[in-house]
Amino acid sequence: MSSRIIFMGTPEFAAPALHALAKQVSAIHLLVVTQPDRPAGRGRQLQPPPVKRHAADCGLEIIQPHTLRDPAVRQRFTDLEPALIVVAAFGLLLPKWVLELPPGGCVNLHASLLPRFRGASPVAAAIASGDSNTGVALMQMERGLDTGAVFDASKLDIEKQDTTESLTARLAQSAAELLTVNLQTLLDGAIVGDRQQGPIVETRKLVKDHGAIDWRQPAQIIERHIRAMWPWPRAWTETQDGTRFQVHEATLVEDGDNAVPGEIAHIDGRLAVASEPGWLALERVQLAGKTAQTGSELIHNPTFAEGAQLGTPRTFQPPEHWIVPAGDAV
């Protein structure tokens, strides 16, 4: 395949699609655009984005613009004369000149079944909302956020223990397969998209404060929240003295009397917390400055004695809600 293609992506989700492209397109006809290296970890050392590492392994040309407004970037794109631009979680809105550059336009691999869960956090939203399935939409990009026509989609069941991390990994493989099946017809201009139909739900970018657990919620909702927040921004709560700690994993507990939301009990050797209604066993937690531990290992810690109270964020004001119904698609 000789048509020139630009691939724009940043996180691990985009890597399988990039590898799929690299198998179908000559390296000299494929340009990879990803975000700049960012400081990460305790040492705050610069780390390359996952797509950069994968592109290097494939021997592909890589550019990492700080902004798409840079005239040199625009010139590089224009000189390539791409037949198609493929986007997978690039992380920046594309300006009009990029959207209009290739004859085949720009297409996006979006990790939801549009128009449900447009925006930045579709995988976490599907888990937190209790959906039984989600998927990947191959869509035409336009100026609106995830508003374009859908060329094709693949559906995937959400498993009982799925976290955002595990579900994203499976969706990434599905995205690669979707791109592989449709690539030639996209290049030929022989595929027609369908206008999005159904209720629109928009999602916003998650921040750390979105991870707060409200023990006044039902246990099932909290359990989904914990899975949706993994691996970012991670669910958290507070001890009675206001010290935050992370909850990595929790399971529903069938037995247990009604109690004040946030109250701790030891049920069958497990560290359990009351919600409203229901109970959750904290299976894996991480105290500040410590490595992750099982809840059972903390039963003898005075902070987690029976009757102690975990913080319900009564005065905590979380940021703007990140899942927002927005009407119907037209």
Residues 262 and 155 in one domain: no
Distance CA 107, CA 109 (A): 7
Residue 312 included in any domain:
no
309 assigned to some structural domain: no
Collapsing DSSP states into helix, strand and coil, what is residue 24?
helix
Same domain, 198 and 253: no
202-to-121, 125, 146, 158 alpha-carbon distances in Å? 9, 9, 9, 19
Q: Flag whether 321 is in a domain.
A: no
Shared domain for 92 and 172, answered yes or no, is: yes
The tokens describing 240, both together, are 């009675």
Omega before 277 within 30 of 0, i.e. cis: yes
CATH number at residue 70: 3.40.50.170
- Domain span at residue 190 reads 5-203
**329 in any annotated domain:** no
**What is the C-alpha separation between 18 and 16, in angstroms, rounded?**
5
Last residue of a domain, one of 203, 222, 250: 203
Q: Is 274 helix (H, G, I), strand (E, B) or coil?
A: strand
Would you say residue 131 lies in a domain?
Answer: yes
pTM (predicted TM-score): 0.94
Q: Do 163 and 73 belong to one domain?
A: yes
Residue ending a domain, among 203, 219, 243, is: 203
Number of domains in the chain: 2
Q: Do residue 216 and residue 279 come from a single domain?
A: yes
Contact yes or no for 26/3 (Cβ under 8 A)? no
Same domain, 197 and 173: yes
Per-residue DSSP letter, 95: P
Q: What is the pLDDT along the chain (330 residues), one digit of tens a residue?
A: 558 999 999 999 999 999 999 999 998 899 999 999 998 777 788 899 999 999 999 999 999 999 999 999 999 999 999 999 999 999 988 999 999 999 988 999 999 999 999 999 999 999 999 999 999 999 999 999 999 999 999 999 999 999 999 999 999 999 999 999 999 999 998 899 999 999 999 999 999 999 999 999 999 999 999 999 999 999 999 998 888 999 999 999 976 677 899 999 999 999 999 998 899 999 999 999 899 999 999 999 999 999 999 985 555 666 789 999 988 876
CATH code for the domain of 283: 3.10.25.10
Whether residue 232 sits in one domain with residue 196: no
pLDDT (0 to 100) of residue 255: 67
Do 36 and 110 fall into the same domain? yes
Secondary structure class of 250 (helix, strand, coil) = strand
Q: Do 189 and 92 have their domain in common?
A: yes
Same-domain pairing of 162 and 182: yes
**Same domain as 273, residue 196:** no
The number of residues making up the chain comes to 330
